[in-house]
Structure 1
Amino acid sequence: MPHAVDISNNFGIIAGFIQNDPQERVKYSPIIYILNFLSSNRHPIVIHQYIPIATNGTWQDLLSNADANIYSAKYDMSISINSHGDVLVGMQHINRVFLFSVNVSNPTQLTYISRNTNSRSLGNGKSVAWLDNGNVAAILVNIYSLSYQWSSSQIYFYDMQSSIYNSNSTPLSVFPNYHQLLPESFSPVFINIISSTTSLTLMDVNGNLLIFNPTPPGFYPSIPATGSIPIITVSEACPLGMYKDQTGINDCILCPTDTKNSGNATIQCTPCAPDAFCSLGSVSEISQSALEIIEQVIAYPKSPETTIFDEILIQNMFHIGLGHCLLVSPLFWTLIVASLAILIVIIMGMLKFFVRHPKCAQIRKRIQWIFKKTDLIGEGELWVGGLVSFSIVVLVSCAYAFSNAYLKQYPIETSTDSYFACDVSIRNAKFETHLQTLTIPPSETEQKMFNLLNEQRLSLNIDFINTFINCDVISIQALFGNTWSTIRWSTCQNINSILSLSIPLPYKHISIQIILAQVQTIGALRVGVSGDKYEEDSYKLKKLNFYKSFSKNESVLAQTLLVSLALTKVINETLSMKDEKSDFSGIYIPTYTIDLNSLFLSRDQYIRSTSQTILLSIVLTETPYYVKNQQQPIAKQPEIVFHNVLFTVACLKIFGLIFILYKLIFKPIYHSLCQTVFRYRQEHKDNSEEIIGNF
């Protein structure tokens, strides 16, 4: 049962069904024959055949084709042969278009090349045709349900020379699209296409004809709104961001990523600067700064591991490091002074034991008298205690200096790096962060901050990046209850291919629709919110100005966009150092919810689009909770003074204990050793004198 046929000079192709054994599940199977016209008896003979086999587990594998012996439009097939021997066979009932190759001079075999399947539906390949001397294929793709209910009709144009044709192929263009629209007089249901070498004729279900004439490079076939039949296309320059470098009836092509078309050259796209933002279909070079993300809120600091001032003081007094840590180490300078004290002790010992001059003895006694006066440990009892007292004074002075500087490291907003300590990030502050529900009434001190946040007037800021769309095609609607009402922007301008909008928001819980009644390529989207600051007493409402940009490589912004933006209150409380009222500050932080896969389209998806408008829907809400941050000092002035006094007393007592041990243990041992040495020397001297007397 033949359903389609096409012939060339030397061979012909027939597609249809053959009947199977009645016992088999599949009653009729599709088949493709090649007929050779070069036989000696001058009659065409079948020399080869191809039977499409359904893949196991697919919906095509379930078909029985039991009614294929009765004519039905869903079993329509189509064939087209070009001058190179390439053969297209469309079988819409299995949603496949096959590509074969035949040797034109010796047509003895039908060689399978590839196939194209268009998802789970019917209609792919309802009609096929070759264009541009066999270099471009036109495929009529009708979308039917499996019960053969029509959904849509489109013509796909494929470059068969520079790309591989299969189910993953991206078409050159698709008709109709957003700038090649069907006139009202033409039915959206297509039933057939017929081609000449360069032109293409489309027939709708009512028999109306649309003739596509080839256009030169830089132009595409535009559909005139004349209403006359047949409709004949006219040439029109490629839209911005697109190009066409050859003659044909196909549409213009989006400029590849990192290239642009600003309208000066529609035959080819020009390269962008390496550091510029040039997305798919770019109309201009855009600085990367246009995609800057502005985040006003950073993570609240964590409290230090140690929040007890005693531990902090001890750690910093007795820590020695390298570089900067060595220079600010109190222990290091204490050891320097102690080393000088040891040097003085050595010098005093040398003066005592090795220098017998009376004047040196006077100097040594004078020095001892001076150091006894500075003895804080033995209360003037030991001159060595005076030397050690200098080390104690250095250590305690460093403790006082550290404590004074540490006291000023609060709050963190006014603090700078702590160069007085080894850890320059040390602060006199500890932090707490809580997530609290808005259903619990805030305290009286917090309520005013809540009021300021609730009363802050916000503006929605939108940037459409890398586009030539202007403000005169924009309309804005807001949802008030169940009614969409028109609202106005406060500012709108397109500067350097960035269309910027600022929209005052009547409420914080609101849905906004921005409608652009002109479809052009848009490379990226940037959404932000701004609000003025306000200060009153100890309450500070911070200025709001955050942005987030959205872009995707090798993609262009879609025509239907949805961005959800949830605002969360953040309240910061800073407790006073002097037991006065706390300082409050507040700001909103955003949470964006978007799906990049639906926000952007690939080139393949974009050329299939037929939308005439771009609709951006933004839903603003406020989260049912807020963030409460609290900052308080680790140590206040009275506590620091008290702990410094304790540290001073502790140092004196520790060194005093050392001197007590010296007097009770080391000094008696020293004197005992000295007496032993003295007696030994005296006995040795007496023995020497006795020996001399005997002589």
Structure 2
Amino acid sequence: MLDSQGDISIIFPAAPGSYADTSWGTVSWALDCIGGTFNPQLSIGPCVLCPQGNSTNGLTGQSICVSCEVDAFCPTGAAFGNISTSSSILTSAGQALAYPVSPQSVRFDNILMQNMFYLRSPMSGHCVLVSAFFWALIVIALGIVIVFVMITLKYYVRNTQLKVTRKRVTRLLKQTDFIGEGELWMGGIATISIAILATFAYIFSSAYFQRYPIERVNSPANFACDTTLTNAQFSSGLMSLTVSPNDDQVPMFNLLNAQQLTVHLDLTNTLFTCSDSVTLMQNRGASQLLIPSTCVESNGSLSISAVLPSHVVTLQLSLTGIEIIGGFGFGLTGPGAYQEEDTLDGIYTLADLDLNQAFSVSGRILSQQPSFAVQLSKLVNRTYPLDENDATEFSAIWTAYTSYDINQNFIDENDYKYVTSLGTTITIGI
């Protein structure tokens, strides 16, 4: 065979499960298909990727691919068919959560009146049970029944024992009468209704007060009809990098800037191992600096971890070999911190960082020159105290957004046929 440069190569057909390699001379010899690829027949052609849903079960030199397990991460070119899709390295997890929308009314008297006297239709059983108005209506209804019975006993019943019972009930109701100052037995019924409303108002007010600040609330508002009720008013904003933080914000930003971050890079469904040449470098312009890292392999996955030298860095992970990579994961962890500043009346809490982002594309494999751009942002929350003598509470965490070119980072079967590189280099810019 004559190539484009005029060189002659003698290629012999390779047996099933192998391919004819001419990279080291003019005469080919057979090499086993790598994991995730197969060759079903005697030919001089290359091995092809296993179709999605099939794998080589961690083996090389295969002439067929076998079906993966149910609920397994099994993309095109899968070397393993038993990696669960629920694996932590395949699950993206972030810690930054959006606050709920502020309630339409933030005045407590409006919220109290709405929850005590508002009856909506239809109403759930829970809403009926926590409605003060409902129970007041029950007492009023019982009061009407009592009034009817009392009138009947007074004017239409001649039984002496029942007359005595009526007098006892009348005396009891007068003793509970705060409206007519003990003169009206019907005032006792009204007093009981008012007492129920007052009791519900106290219970609601106390429970509502305990739901501030929202960061410390983990349970639903079972004391109200709306169990998502929050005792908070939210506002948000962006701070320009050119604007210096206020004095009371400086300690929070200092804790963020001082947090030591550890990067975690995960390669999923691959035959790369820690015994291969795996290096993590920091790009520093024209030079590179080796970053000490740890490597762990488990069931077709490879994880590399390293402490970042700074929060702004360009990393380059190099792996020698032509093994296929089904998916890529990027994660950051960092210890939290706590600080109190009496002079600023502030409490500062830096949350433990533990975020993970997983990347894979159906029908594609990771290319040999992928590049990911990670944008770190500081997310700071300020909670004002209800009492002016209490401290303002600050909490913060890093959040990350990753962007990449899907066509550059992931290739399909057609692109894989023209791959010539003998290694994979993953670039991560933070």
TM-score calculated relative to the size of structure 2: 0.91
Aligned position for 1:18: none
Aligned position for 1:423: 226
Residues 281-680 of structure 1: pairs in structure 2 closer than 5 A? 281-285=77-81, 286-290=83-87, 291-320=90-119, 321-356=123-158, 361=163, 363-415=165-217, 416-471=219-274, 472-480=276-284, 482-537=285-340, 538-579=347-388, 580-620=390-430
Inter-partner Cα distance in structure 1 for 2:279 and 2:189? 86
What's the CA shift string for 1:85-132, capped at 9, x where partnerless?
xxxxxxxxxxxxxxxxxxxxxxxxxxxxxxxxxxxxxxxxxxxxxxxx
Inter-partner Cα distance in structure 2 for 1:433 and 1:529? 25
Q: Secondary structure at the match of 1:276?
A: coil
Aligned partner letter, 1:556? I
Whether 2:39 is the aligned partner of 1:240: answer no
Aligned position for 2:344: none
Q: CA deviation at 1:358?
A: 5.9
Inter-partner Cα distance in structure 1 for 2:47 and 2:164? 108
Aligned partner letter, 1:405? A
Q: Secondary structure at the match of 1:560?
A: coil
Q: CA deviation at 1:470?
A: 2.3
Q: CA deviation at 1:605?
A: 0.5
Aligned position for 1:54: none
Aligned partner letter, 1:551? S
Aligned partner letter, 1:202? L
Identity of aligned residues (%): 36
Larger Rg computed on CA atoms = 1
Residues 42-121 of structure 1: pairs in structure 2 closer than 5 A? none
Distance 1:236 1:265, change over 3 A: closer
Unaligned runs of 5+ in 2: 341-346
- Conservation of the 8 A alpha-carbon contact between 1:259 and 1:269: yes
- Deviating above 6 A after TM superposition, structure 1's stretches of 4 or more consecutive aligned residues are none
Q: CA deviation at 1:533?
A: 1.3
Inter-partner Cα distance in structure 1 for 2:142 and 2:204? 24
Aligned partner letter, 1:478? Q
Inter-partner Cα distance in structure 2 for 1:363 and 1:252? 100
Q: Secondary structure at the match of 1:387?
A: helix
Unaligned runs of 5+ in 1: 1-200, 621-695
Aligned partner letter, 1:567? L
Distance 1:593 1:203, change over 3 A: closer
Aligned partner letter, 1:403? S
Distance 1:348 1:245, change over 3 A: same
Inter-partner Cα distance in structure 2 for 1:513 and 1:358? 101
Q: CA deviation at 1:540?
A: 1.2
Q: Secondary structure at the match of 1:395?
A: helix
Distance 1:559 1:205, change over 3 A: closer
Aligned partner letter, 1:322? S
Over aligned residue pairs, what C-alpha RMSD do you find? 1.9
Q: Secondary structure at the match of 1:573?
A: strand
Bigger fraction of residues in strand: 1
What's the CA shift string for 1:141-194, capped at 9, x where partnerless?
xxxxxxxxxxxxxxxxxxxxxxxxxxxxxxxxxxxxxxxxxxxxxxxxxxxxxx
Q: CA deviation at 1:265?
A: 5.2
Q: CA deviation at 1:264?
A: 5.5
TM-score calculated relative to the size of structure 1: 0.57
Q: CA deviation at 1:357?
A: 5.2
Q: Secondary structure at the match of 1:436?
A: coil
Aligned partner letter, 2:2? L
Aligned position for 1:275: 71
Q: CA deviation at 1:523?
A: 0.5
What's the CA shift string for 1:650-687, capped at 9, x where partnerless?
xxxxxxxxxxxxxxxxxxxxxxxxxxxxxxxxxxxxxx
Distance 1:379 1:232, change over 3 A: same
Paired residues, number: 414
- Conservation of the 8 A alpha-carbon contact between 1:477 and 1:484: no
Inter-partner Cα distance in structure 1 for 2:185 and 2:115? 30
Aligned partner letter, 2:337? Y
- Conservation of the 8 A alpha-carbon contact between 1:300 and 1:433: no
- Conservation of the 8 A alpha-carbon contact between 1:293 and 1:548: yes
Distance 1:333 1:211, change over 3 A: same
Inter-partner Cα distance in structure 1 for 2:206 and 2:93? 37
Distance 1:422 1:535, change over 3 A: same
Whether 2:53 is the aligned partner of 1:258: answer yes
* Counterpart among 15, 20, 23 of residue 221 in structure 1: 20
What's the CA shift string for 1:316-344, capped at 9, x where partnerless?
11133331111111111111111221122
Q: Secondary structure at the match of 2:270?
A: coil
Aligned partner letter, 1:461? H
Q: Secondary structure at the match of 1:209?
A: coil
Inter-partner Cα distance in structure 1 for 2:160 and 2:132? 40
What's the CA shift string for 1:508-566, capped at 9, x where partnerless?
11111111222211101111111111122321111111111111111111111110000
- Conservation of the 8 A alpha-carbon contact between 2:32 and 2:60: no
Aligned partner letter, 2:49? L
